[in-house]
Structure 1
Amino acid sequence: MTVKQFQLSDMLISEHQVSVPLDWRDPQHSPCINVFYREVVSVERAAQKLPLLLFLQGGPGGKSPRPQSGHPCWLPQALETYRVILLDQRGTGQSSRIDASLIAHKTAEQGRDYLLNFRADSIIKDCEYIRKTCYHSQQFYTLGQSYGGFLTLSYLSYAPQALAGCFVTGGLAGIDATAEQVYQLTYPLVAEKTELFYQQYPDTRVRLAQIGECLANEAVYLPDGERLTAERFQSLGILLGTGSGMQTLYYLVDEAFAGHAKQALSDTFLAQVMMLANYWDNPLYAVMQESIYGQGQQATNWAAQRVRDQLGGFKGNPESLPLTGEMIYPWMFEQIGYLKPFAPAANALAAYNDYSYLYDLECLGRNEVLVVAAVYANDMYVPRTLSERTAQLTANLHTWVTDKFEHDGVRQSTEVFEHLTTMMHELSH
């Protein structure tokens, strides 16, 4: 169903909404949810039959980018060739978004079972429904950023006939890695990024330690009334894996204290931390984070917290404050107000041990769909070692390993999509 259509600059944008089963395992008896997507096409090519490019957003829990003139930066080039589909994955954006109020009325088990319908396998079935019913079964090209690359690998596993070719940026998941194995690799990567940050901005080492001491020794409250703990502040290390993250963290820390006093944290600092360290816009990112690694009969069981406890050394001291990255902890569902209603379901999800398999290694091993992937050598979120192993396990997958960009390179520079487009063209001819 087309909701509306409008022109923005040289783009014709149409908005669509379809109804799909909440539970694809029993579509005949399942209640339905809405899935929303935008189709974007160049005005001058709108009447042409063009190849379709489905963008798979990172996350989990991330809605698709909202198209603007020149944004996202890869879009203008894509529109020279493709009709682009920007999907709000189920549970995000306008696709039956999951809010705290929805989960708050469910028991722990009801919430867990509801959330299990929002994993990669269900998202791929939504994509297939859209492809078959709205695009007459025309094959998709896909562009998967980060978690969108995880989705791509699931798509290649279970519906490869639907795909004409795949672009992946920073998203070659460790298809046979457990959550614990992932975090055993990413904690050292965060430590390396933190040290690079201190080398680039030497004054921040002491200042971060001062902030940590302040938060450990007294109760400090954010403008929304929630207490800012040292561990919540440490979680802002997640910024360090993006192209502009070090600068963002530097400017934040640089104005941490009011005037010359090193005891009182400034209002502007606290306001910025409040905006950076919450999940109002993407609660599924927190709730579903570890479940994206869940396969078979193995519970994730708060793997990030377990590995953190094994490693130790996160208390901080007067000289330095360690930071954490893309890790979700059980205490977040106690300290962060918006996440509190999700706590029972999140704990039940952490204990769950009957996951569907997200990848078919045998199918990937004989893959015939051309896949070109950017692997970021210094990726803090998706370890290079796991990406390269997945590339070895997946037939017809070609990588471009680069240290020029961080994890969000495709959003930072047109060069990433341009390079992959050239690879796709050369390898398919």
Structure 2
Amino acid sequence: MSTYRQPGLVLTDRRFTVPLDHARPGGETIEVYGREVVASDKAHRTDLPWLLYLEGGPGFGARRFVGPQAWLGRAVQEFRVLLLDQRGTGRSTPANRQTLPLRGTPREQAAYLAHFRADSIVRDCELIRRDLTGGAPWTVLGQSFGGFCATHYLSTAPEGLATVLVTGGLPSLHATADDVYRAAYPRVRAKNTAHYARYPDDVERVRRIAAHLHERQVTLPGGGRLTPEAFQSLGILLGGGEGSHQLHLLLEDAFVPTPAGPALSDAFLENVQAHLSFAGHPLYAVLHEAIYAQGAGPTDWAAERVRAEFPEFDAPKALAGDGPVLFTGETVHPWHFTTDPALSPLRETAELLAARADWAPLYDPARLAANEVPAAAVIYHADMYVDTAHSLETARAVRGLRTWVTDEFEHDGVRAGGRRVLDRLLALARDEL
């Protein structure tokens, strides 16, 4: 267990051994990593309550802070914080194209990854809590997918919770993956409309890039293929507070002159790869639709199937006319597993997970209706990632949950808003507002 310092903070590396399958506690184990963070002037105190942070995703390790940045600065005023790398992410036992072949065949890999959803993550948290707090309940802060995990926590182990705080991550209790994406595409279309209204010159820029990709094969520096569909997926940026501006800056210098004619610049392709590669978070792609699966049959590449209901997202059709080429959002498609070298070895595993039909339910509406844990959630009015109507419906279904609905922030409000978002959520949960 290593301890070190950053400005204003004392950090300690912690590692926990947990069962791969919590239904078989004596079976195979994996390791889960957490970074304990406490204010330097409070490091000696043993009476501080714990706050567990669950990152968005799936497939992302907890954010790496340097000093008391963003919400962390507010949290360490009164909590000892655990930044958890959920199983398979960050410094926890890794799950990626390099390690998963150790499991065996794609079928064996898929069976292994079936234990990496919110239900297993929450059971990890409960084992860790009893180890760290001596059995005392803790506060959980869940961002995006972390909020999905927090909602499952309320459904299955509320005795472990002192308070639950959710930022941009109240899931539907009943929606299928098809329902989620059927609600998502219109939101993404609205983000495109807003972007092109802000940066009208980008309409022609995007059409030119998409046409270039339609006419020739372009390879990214890491070996991935930049197809028109892959280019469209840069729209995932549009869900962040600065995302539209970042996208515009990425697009404005895409081409350079060459002896063979205009070509996409090395700098542009390098920046695109940084946004599109799944090398650092492959579980985001492999398990993305599984986070919505609750025993209603296979997800069966829902985002790809539902996209056919929204032909305005078809790049060749847009290029055949004179309208804008629309970007897509938080969607994973079968072609991701042929264009991205970090995912292509996992293609068959992903297909098996997409075909899996026996996912367990993640939420217990009856238990949530009887909730007694103080809870608060911020719901972003125009959230591109999580449907506002779904979140409001869930908020009404959780007894005692207080909400803050705002258009001041996008999905990344807990980071962009500094200390204000966490401060307000704590006040709501404590009935101070």
Check whether the contact 1:206–1:319 (CA below 8 A) recurs between aligned residues.
no
- The CA RMSD over aligned residues, in Å, is 1.5
SS at 1:39 equivalent: strand
Shift of 1:294: 0.7
Aligned to 2:59: 61
Cα distance 1:259–1:421, how it changes in 2: closer, same or farther (>3 A)? farther
Shift of 1:224: 2.4
Aligned to 2:408: 404
CA distance in 2, matches of 1:325, 1:232: 11
Q: Aligned residues: percent identity?
A: 42
Which of residues 225, 241, 244 is equivalent to 1:243?
241
Shift of 1:323: 0.9
Cα distance 1:262–1:304, how it changes in 2: closer, same or farther (>3 A)? farther
SS at 1:53 equivalent: strand
User: Which structure 1 segments of 5+ residues have no match?
Assistant: none
- TM-score normalized by the length of structure 2: 0.95
Check whether the contact 2:7–2:68 (CA below 8 A) recurs between aligned residues.
no
CA distance in 2, matches of 1:17, 1:221: 39
Check whether the contact 2:170–2:395 (CA below 8 A) recurs between aligned residues.
yes
Aligned to 2:20: 22
CA distance in 2, matches of 1:153, 1:117: 18
Aligned to 1:161: 159
CA distance in 1, matches of 2:402, 2:411: 18
Shift of 1:427: 5.0
Which of residues 134, 137, 146 is equivalent to 2:135?
137
Shift of 1:42: 1.1
Shift of 1:383: 0.7
- TM-score normalized by the length of structure 1: 0.96
Aligned to 1:349: 353
The size of the alignment, in residue pairs, is: 424
Aligned to 2:293: 294
Q: How does 1:295-334 map to 2 (within 5 A)?
A: 295-313=294-312, 314-315=314-315, 316-317=318-319, 318-334=322-338
Shift of 1:124: 0.5
CA distance in 2, matches of 1:131, 1:227: 43
Which of residues 251, 254, 263 is equivalent to 1:253?
251
Q: Identify the range of structure 1 (51-60 vs 5-14) with the bigger mean alpha-carbon deviation.
A: 5-14
Shift of 1:102: 2.1
Check whether the contact 1:210–1:262 (CA below 8 A) recurs between aligned residues.
no
SS at 2:382 equivalent: coil
Q: How does 1:40-55 map to 2 (within 5 A)?
A: 40-48=37-45, 49-55=47-53
Aligned to 2:224: 226
CA distance in 1, matches of 2:340, 2:284: 14
CA distance in 1, matches of 2:282, 2:242: 23
Shift of 1:356: 1.3
CA distance in 2, matches of 1:119, 1:420: 26
Show structure 1 runs of 4+ deviating over 3 A. 259-263
2:278 aligned with 1:279: yes
Aligned to 2:428: 423
Q: 1:274-297 CA deviation, whole Å, 9 max, x = no partner?
A: 111110110000001000001114
Check whether the contact 1:103–1:341 (CA below 8 A) recurs between aligned residues.
no
Cα distance 1:394–1:206, how it changes in 2: closer, same or farther (>3 A)? same
Q: 1:238-277 CA deviation, whole Å, 9 max, x = no partner?
A: 1000011111100010011115998421111111111111
Aligned to 1:89: 86
Shift of 1:222: 1.5
User: Which structure 2 segments of 5+ residues have no match?
Assistant: none
Equivalent position amino acid for 1:354 in 2: D
Check whether the contact 2:223–2:341 (CA below 8 A) recurs between aligned residues.
no
Q: 1:37-92 CA deviation, whole Å, 9 max, x = no partner?
A: 11111121122201111001100011011231232x01111111111111110000
